[in-house]
Structure 1
Amino acid sequence: MHSDTIAVVPQTSAKKLKKRHTSTNLAGYLFISPWLIGFCFLTLWPMILSLYYSFTDYSLLNSAQWTGFDNMKEIFHDRFFYNSLKVTFTFVLFSVPIKLAVALGVAMLLSRNIRGMSVYRTLLYLPSLIGGSVAVAVLWKNIFGLDGFINNIVPWFGIAPKNWIGMPQTALSTIIILSVWQFGSAMIIFIAGLKQIPTELYEASSADGAGKIRRFFHITLPMLSPVIFFNLVMGVIGSFQTFTSAFVITNGGPMNSTQVYAVYLYQVAFGNLHMGYASALAWILLLIVAIATSINFLASKYWVYDGEGSR
């Protein structure tokens, strides 16, 4: 009798534990179900459809007709595709480094222990919250227009007023400036990174006679390199997908000088209703972003500090 009781108790406990484990899992899935449903129906399923449509001749008015790799072949003979790549790479190469430099510079100023610093951080972070909106893009269009605010200021510096968004030579620059203006997110991350740098390093270097510039290049930048790398990767990915500012301010003009990749994709999809071709363009963009991100990760081992020197 005693041995039977010993045999039953572990079996009963195991059942209880299994039941509790199952109920815990069900509760977890229940809590994440809104995200799972949204991901499956708003992200995963559209991606699968987009991949299928990229191999078809499809518009919103007609059913899809399988064409194999015809869309991919057509892309590489499309001059507007190459133009959009040129404009997008120009935008990324200028906007991302400038934004990171501005964000780091402002972060170093705001990392000091000064009264009311939290207010300054909030004010400088606001552009990142509203900078991607249509309203700000419309405002930017008016600021850089022929009768805009900028043309009231530039004569003070001996510069003749121009239609900044109406000239191919300057239109893309206005969008780059708008992107740089939205440096708040990178700034906040830089501030957090700066606070993690041990003050003992600065004290020891000061005792050795190192100046501010030397401390910046030999302590701040190396110790901050993981944060710089994170902001760089996120900035590059975001810049390749830029759309709202270029679409609202110039709609890709003048003379396609601001026709970034996402704007061209939108024009093909909803202007020309070539959904199959637009889907192929979207997957090419995914491939480009993946390659750019991989290059950043491969190059990071030469300059990102991991606690034991470079990676």
Structure 2
Amino acid sequence: MDKHNLTVLNEFILMGITDRPELQAPLFGLFLIIYMISVVGNLGIIILTKMDSRLQTPMYFFLRHLAITDLGYSTAVGPKMLANFIVDENTISCYFCATQLVFVIMFITSEFFILSAMSYDRYVAICNPLCYTVIMSQRACLVLVAIPCLYSTFVSLLVTIKIFNLSFCGHNIIRHFYCDSLPLVSLLCSNTLEIKLIILALAAFDLISSLLIVVLSYILIAASILRLSSAEGRHKAFSTCGSHLTVVVVFYGTLIFMYLQPKSSHSFDTDKVASIFYTLVTPMLNPLIYSLRNKKVKYAVHRTLEQVFLIRTLNMLSGIV
């Protein structure tokens, strides 16, 4: 078989979400709205949790980094996907494809462990409130974010370098709307057993280890809540982790559906639907969930809007004077 290495194969063609022309414009409008809501929502969370003095706690520190990861992988995928709706040929250079793959893997992997850190934070807050400030110190929070960041960077570079150091066949059509690892591996002519095992092992480790931390934390949280005597106390304790639990169910539910579906029903079309959900829809939902369910975030939004309105009013009055 003729093999063409990366120096010969200079670009790929992305099949995109659909090949039906009548759906291109409606889908472009829909995903543009979704992406813009995601950008505005996550940037808003980042700014609010950084600027508002009442949101300077570990919970909102992790929420800020969750928003950064959501913004990161939605931006790694969204703009290129939107551009592909309005161009004739959905091409992507090998270098841009590799860059996109690095950032998608890095931010997705980071999100696993940031969600785990958030569940651990809720466990400490509910089950060990007297020692909360000592256990969840600023240094501890930085470590819980820095380690996943370094690990996810290593994983993304490892997988990307492994894939792009192998030989591609003459076929350069990626059956996806962005450069994902599995569609790229299907284009390789080299022996793909090693890279498939690496991807499977890393995905299994990330999913199982992070989910185990989340499940264990919530089992201990539930046990602690059930021991509370008053219904009001149980409701207040549960409400502190309701938003995070919703985000966890949406994020892990989508990935479990994608990776644990029966092999007979597995297809790239199914992967596209799941990928749309966790790369575009989930980053849009997360800030909405935290904004609608979290009183402190809602109050912070109101205070910020009032301050902006007040500043603009004062500027207008000073201009008139």
TM bucket (normalised to shorter chain) is: under 0.3
TM-score normalized with structure 2 length? 0.27
Task: Name which one, 1 or 2, has greater alpha-carbon Rg.
Answer: 1
Structure 1 or 2: larger helix share? 2
